[in-house]
C-alpha cells in the first residue's frame, strides 16, 4: 500500500469512528436542555443533590445545582450521600447513565420514580446535567449500617409512637 493510500485509509477509519460515536450519542438540542432542566426542577433532584436547596426554598443559583451534598441520610441501610451528578455525568456516556438509572439504588433515592421515567426523559436529564459541566467534589463514601459517618446526617429510622394507656371509661363500656 502506498503512503497516500495508507493515509486515506487511516483518515477514512477515523471518520467512520467519529460517525459511529455521533450516532451513539445524538447531538444535544436546546429542547433537550430545557426538558432536562424542567425535569430536574419538578423531579426534586435538587432537593438532595444540591447543597442548601431545600432549606433555602430553592434559592440556589443554577450554577451550583447537582453538585451533591455532604449531609447524609442514615437509616437501616447505612448512610448514603447525594451524588455529585455533574461529576457523574462527566464520567459516564449516555448509555452508561441510562443503565445506572435503571439499576437498584439505596434509599432515600426514589429509584422507582427514576426507573419509571421514559428513556427520552433520562436522556434529557443526562444532557442537561452534562451541559452544566463538571464541578465540585465527589460526595462522601457510603457508610455501612452500624458505621459512624463523619458528616452531619438526617436520621431516617422509623420510630413507633409511645403506647397510649386506654382510658378506664372505655374499658368499662358495655
Q: In which band, very low, low, confident or very high, does the pLDDT at 8 lie, cut at 50, 70 and 90?
A: very low
Rounded-to-10 torsion of CA 22, 27, 28, 31: -150
Decide if 102 contacts 166 (C-beta within 8 A). no
Cell numbers for 143, please give them: 457508610
48, pLDDT greater than 70: yes
Give strand pairing partners of 68.
50
Percent of the chain surpassing pLDDT 70: 80
Kindly state the average pLDDT of the residues 100-126. Answer: 96
38, pLDDT greater than 90: yes
pTM as predicted: 0.76
What is the C-alpha separation between 46 and 42, in angstroms, rounded?
9
7, pLDDT greater than 60: no
What is the C-alpha separation between 123 and 31, in angstroms, rounded?
12
What is the C-alpha separation between 36 and 128, in angstroms, rounded?
5
Decide if 36 contacts 125 (C-beta within 8 A). yes
Amino acid at each position: 500500500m502506498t503512503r497516500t493510500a495508507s493515509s486515506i485509509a487511516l483518515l477514512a477509519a477515523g471518520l467512520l469512528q467519529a460517525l459511529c460515536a455521533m450516532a451513539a450519542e445524538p447531538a444535544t438540542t436546546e429542547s433537550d436542555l430545557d426538558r432536562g432542566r424542567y425535569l430536574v426542577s419538578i423531579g426534586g433532584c435538587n432537593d438532595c443533590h444540591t447543597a442548601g436547596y431545600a432549606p433555602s426554598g430553592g434559592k440556589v443559583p443554577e450554577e451550583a445545582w447537582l453538585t451533591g451534598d455532604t449531609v447524609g441520610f442514615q437509616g437501616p441501610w447505612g448512610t448514603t450521600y447525594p451524588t455529585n451528578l455533574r461529576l457523574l455525568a462527566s464520567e459516564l456516556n449516555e448509555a452508561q447513565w441510562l443503565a445506572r438509572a435503571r439499576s437498584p439504588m439505596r434509599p432515600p433515592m426514589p429509584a422507582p420514580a427514576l426507573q419509571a421515567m421514559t428513556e427520552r426523559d433520562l436522556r434529557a436529564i443526562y444532557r442537561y446535567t452534562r451541559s452544566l459541566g463538571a464541578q465540585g467534589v465527589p460526595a462522601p463514601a457510603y457508610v455501612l449500617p452500624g458505621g459512624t459517618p463523619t458528616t452531619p446526617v438526617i436520621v431516617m429510622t422509623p420510630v413507633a409512637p409511645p403506647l397510649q394507656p386506654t382510658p378506664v371509661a372505655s374499658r368499662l363500656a358495655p
